[in-house]
Amino acid sequence: MNKFLGLVLVLLTALLLSSCGSSSSTSPPEDPSTIESTTTAPTTTSSTTTTIARHSLSGKVIAIDAGHNGGNAAHSADINQLVDAGNGVTKACDTSGTASNEGYAEYEFTLSVSKDLQALLQAQGATVVMVRTDSAGWGPCITQRAKIGNDAHADIAISIHGDGNDSAGTRGFHVLVPQTTNVNAAIAPASNRFGTLLRDSFVTTGMPVSNYLGTNGIMPRGDLGGLNLSTVPKVFIECGNMRNATDASMMRSGTFQQSAAAAIDAAIVQFLN
């Protein structure tokens, strides 16, 4: 029963996404009735949805920053070097990130969701710039993570993370957005608009809104170099609290990772159309 309901939800989401993308795309709008008339089998449904979606992000550039890296912990001197955080202070190049109690690392989670998201975006015709595509090395530093999105003139940039809060009962996701009064105020309005879309979309993953940080899942931050140094609209998302057993068990599942990527993709499609 649950599997059936899940399939229905996935199909409904796919149809909603394709109709959103086509209705406001610059390419000739797809008629939803065309979808119906050509949907004769499950395989046709899938390919039809992909074909329509492929046009919805054509010409758009998205930067995906998978938080941390697999080699960070082994390169502490490199990772602890102080770099410009964009707000007049220096900050460590990066950190090694958190991990679940069972040892599932944040850098693994962030890369998995990032790759799922990359595939979804590319299938819709977007140009995707990845800060990293494996977990073999260390870094890059927060300065470089911002620069990659800036140099690509990304239409939107997203940094994907999992939080590590050890206080009992703390769980849920939250979106980090630029402060409107900070050095990055110029990108704050667009970033906040995207952040709200992302918050609303991400609840569909089943991960609750954070019960310990932010307000209704949104938290303005002025101390993050990755936001301060960005010249393109950008947010961070902490997809859950990896130190919480319930969140961690969701976050290590491929099903949740794929639905997280789909939720981020849906927000991007809404934001860019």
Residues 72-101 that bind Zn ion (CB under 5 A): 97
Piece of 66-74, 189-197, 254-262, 263-271 that binds Zn ion (CB under 5 A): 66-74
Q: 118 and 131 in contact (C-beta within 8 Å)?
A: no
CA torsion through residues 211, 215, 218, 224, sign: negative
Rounded to an integer, what distance in angstroms lies between the CA atom of residue 256 and that of residue 97?
20
For Zn ion (CB under 5 A), the number of binding residues is 3
Give min distance, CB of 164 to Zn ion, in A: 8
Q: Interface with Zn ion includes 70 (CB under 5 A)?
A: no
> How many residues in total does the chain contain?
273
Dihedral angle, C-alpha 267, 20, 37, 31, nearest 10 °: -160
If phi > 0 it is left, if psi is from -120 to 50 it is alpha, else beta; for residue 68 that is left
Give min distance, CB of 65 to Zn ion, in A: 10
Rounded to an integer, what distance in angstroms lies between the CA atom of residue 250 and that of residue 178?
28
Which residue in the block uniquely carries the two structure tokens 């979106």? 175
Residue 26: burial class (beta carbons within 10 Å; 0-12, 13-18, 19+): exposed
Give min distance, CB of 1 to Zn ion, in A: 36
Which of 161, 174, 199, 234 is in the footprint of Zn ion by CB under 5 A? 161
Nearer to Zn ion, 67 or 70 (CB): 67
Residue type, 4: F
Q: Which residue is at the shortest CB distance from Zn ion?
A: 161
Give min distance, CB of 237 to Zn ion, in A: 10
Give min distance, CB of 67 to Zn ion, in A: 4
Piece of 67-75, 78-86, 180-188, 196-204 that binds Zn ion (CB under 5 A): 67-75
Which of 14, 63, 67, 194 is in the footprint of Zn ion by CB under 5 A? 67
Pairing state between β 156-163 and 234-241? parallel
Q: 191 and 271 in contact (C-beta within 8 Å)?
A: no
Nearer to Zn ion, 159 or 270 (CB): 159
Piece of 158-166, 185-193, 213-221, 239-247 that binds Zn ion (CB under 5 A): 158-166
- In the residue annotation, 36 being an active-site residue is answered as no
Active-site residue, from 30, 106, 108, 238 = 238
Contacts to Zn ion by CB under 5 A: 67, 97, 161
Q: Indicate which residues carry an active-site annotation.
A: 238
